C-alpha cells in the first residue's frame, strides 16, 4: 500500500498542487466539465466529514479500477491500491480483511465493474463485505474513447456501436439489491452536497455500500440536460426492500438518495470474529491458530 505525499506549496509546485491538504501532485487530465471533478470534491468533503466523527484519514484508504474514474487515485490524497480493470472490489475486500480497522472506499467505473468485474460486485454484496463502492456511472468506456459499456443506453452511438447500441443497459441498483447489498444509493455529480452525504454515510455503514453516481462524460456521453431534469433528491428513504426494488426499476425519474439500508453482520466481522491481523499479529503459533479457526469454524 502506498502513502503518497500531499502537495507542499513551499516546494515551487505547479498551480494545481497545494489547493488543499487532500490534493496530490498529480496533474489533472480530466476534460473541463467532466462529472468526475464533482466526485473528487465530494470524496474530499466526505473524508473531512468522517474526520469530524473521529475517523482519521490515516484510517480511510481507497482502491480504484482502471479508467477515467480511476485517475481519482492520483488526485485524492489518501493511501491505497491502484488496482486492475474490474478487480478493485476484490482488492478492497483484501485490504479490509487484512486490517478491519480501515474504512475502504472503492472507486470503480461502470464498464470496470458492470462488465469485467460484475462477479466481484455481486459476491461482495452477497457476503456483505464492509467496503464502500462509488461507481462513476458515465454509461461508457471513456478512457478507451467511447465504446459501449454494459450501462450504455439503447441507441448509444460510439466506435463499437456506430449504428447504435442494440442492447438494453443493466440496472445496477436492482442487481446490487438482489445480490444482498445492505446499503444501496443513487447520487448525481450535479449535486455535490448530496453526494458528499452519501459517500460519508456509505463509509459509516457497517456492511456493503454501493453508490451509483450519475456522472456525465461531456466528451462521449453528455447527459447533463437529462440528469438535471430527472435526478432529484427523493422524498424520505431509505425504503423497505420491496419499495426500494420498485423504485430502482423506475426509469422515468432518477431519484437520488439512500434507497435501501439494512443491518446484517459484515463478512469481516463474521470471518475474523473481532481479531485484527495487524493489531493482534501475535506470534507464529497464534497466527496459525487464527487461520485454523477461520478454516475450521
Which stretches of the chain bind ligand TPP, using CB under 6 A?
A: 65-69, 85, 109-112, 116, 136, 138, 140-144, 149
Q: What are the grid coordinates assigned to 193, written together? A: 452536497
Calpha distance 121→209 (Å, rounded): 11
When asked if residue 146 is in the footprint of Mg ion (CB under 5 A), the reply is no
Q: Toward ligand SF4, which CB reaches closer, 36 or 103?
A: 36
Least distance CB 84 / Mg ion (angstroms): 16
Output the CA angle 92-204-86, nearest 5 degrees.
25
When asked if residue 218 is in the footprint of ligand SF4 (CB under 6 A), the reply is yes
Q: Which of 93, 138, 152, 176 touches ligand SF4 by CB under 6 A?
A: 138
When asked if residue 34 is in the footprint of ligand SF4 (CB under 6 A), the reply is yes
When asked if residue 181 is in the footprint of ligand SF4 (CB under 6 A), the reply is no
When asked if residue 31 is in the footprint of ligand SF4 (CB under 6 A), the reply is yes
How do beta strands 140-141 and 147-148 pair? Answer: antiparallel
Q: Toward ligand TPP, which CB reaches closer, 151 or 181?
A: 151
The 8 Å CB, 24+ separation contacts for 79-85 are 79/1, 79/2, 79/3, 79/4, 80/1, 80/2, 81/1, 81/2, 85/112, 85/116, 85/117
Query: Which entry of Mg ion, ligand SF4, ligand TPP, none binds 220, CB below 5 to 8 A by partner kind?
Result: ligand SF4
Calpha distance 67→73 (Å, rounded): 11
User: Phi and psi (nearest 5°) for 214?
Assistant: -65, 115
Least distance CB 237 / ligand TPP (angstroms): 27
When asked if residue 159 is in the footprint of ligand SF4 (CB under 6 A), the reply is no
Alpha-carbon Rg for the chain, nearest whole angstrom, is 19
Calpha distance 170→185 (Å, rounded): 16
Residue span 260-289 as binding mask against Mg ion, x where in contact by CB under 5 A, dash where not: ------------------------------
When asked if residue 36 is in the footprint of ligand SF4 (CB under 6 A), the reply is yes
- The CA–CA distances, whole Å, from 196 to 40, 146, 190 equal 10, 28, 11
Q: Which of 80, 86, 109, 150 touches Mg ion by CB under 5 A?
A: 109
Q: Which residues bind ligand SF4 (CB under 6 A)?
A: 30-31, 34, 36, 68, 138, 142, 217-220
Amino acid at each position: 500500500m502506498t502513502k503518497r505525499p500531499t502537495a507542499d506549496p513551499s516546494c515551487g509546485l505547479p498551480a494545481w498542487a497545494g489547493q488543499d491538504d487532500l490534493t496530490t501532485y498529480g496533474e489533472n487530465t480530466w476534460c473541463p466539465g467532466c462529472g468526475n471533478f464533482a466526485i473528487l470534491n465530494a470524496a474530499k468533503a466526505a473524508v473531512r466529514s468522517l474526520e469530524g466523527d473521529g475517523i482519521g484519514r490515516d484510517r480511510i484508504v481507497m482502491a480504484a479500477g482502471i479508467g477515467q474514474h480511476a485517475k481519482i487515485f492520483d488526485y485524492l490524497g489518501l493511501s491505497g491500491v491502484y488496482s486492475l480493470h474490474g478487480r478493485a472490489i476484490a482488492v478492497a475486500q483484501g485490504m479490509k480483511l487484512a486490517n478491519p480497522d480501515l474504512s475502504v472506499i472503492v472507486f470503480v467505473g461502470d464498464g470496470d465493474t458492470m462488465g469485467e468485474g460484475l462477479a466481484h460486485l455481486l459476491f461482495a454484496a452477497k457476503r456483505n463485505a464492509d467496503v464502500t463502492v462509488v461507481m462513476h456511472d458515465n454509461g461508457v468506456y471513456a478512457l478507451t474513447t467511447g465504446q459501449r459499456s454494459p450501462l450504455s443506453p439503447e441507441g448509444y452511438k460510439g466506435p463499437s456501436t456506430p449504428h447504435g447500441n442494440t442492447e438494453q443497459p443493466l440496472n445496477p441498483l436492482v442487481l446490487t439489491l438482489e445480490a444482498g447489498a445492505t446499503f444501496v444509493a443513487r447520487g448525481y455529480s450535479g449535486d455535490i452536497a448530496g453526494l458528499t452525504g452519501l459517500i460519508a454515510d456509505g463509509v459509516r455503514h457497517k456492511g456493503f455500500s454501493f453508490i451509483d453516481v450519475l456522472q456525465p462524460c461531456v466528451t462521449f456521453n453528455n447527459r447533463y440536460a437529462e440528469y438535471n431534469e430527472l435526478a432529484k433528491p427523493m422524498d424520505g428513504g431509505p425504503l423497505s426492500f420491496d419499495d426500494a426494488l420498485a423504485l430502482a426499476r423506475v426509469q422515468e425519474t432518477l431519484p437520488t438518495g439512500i434507497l435501501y439500508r439494512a443491518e446484517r453482520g459484515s463478512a469481516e466481522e463474521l470471518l475474523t470474529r473481532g481479531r485484527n491481523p495487524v493489531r493482534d499479529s501475535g506470534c507464529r503459533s497464534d497466527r496459525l491458530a487464527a487461520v485454523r479457526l477461520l478454516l475450521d469454524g
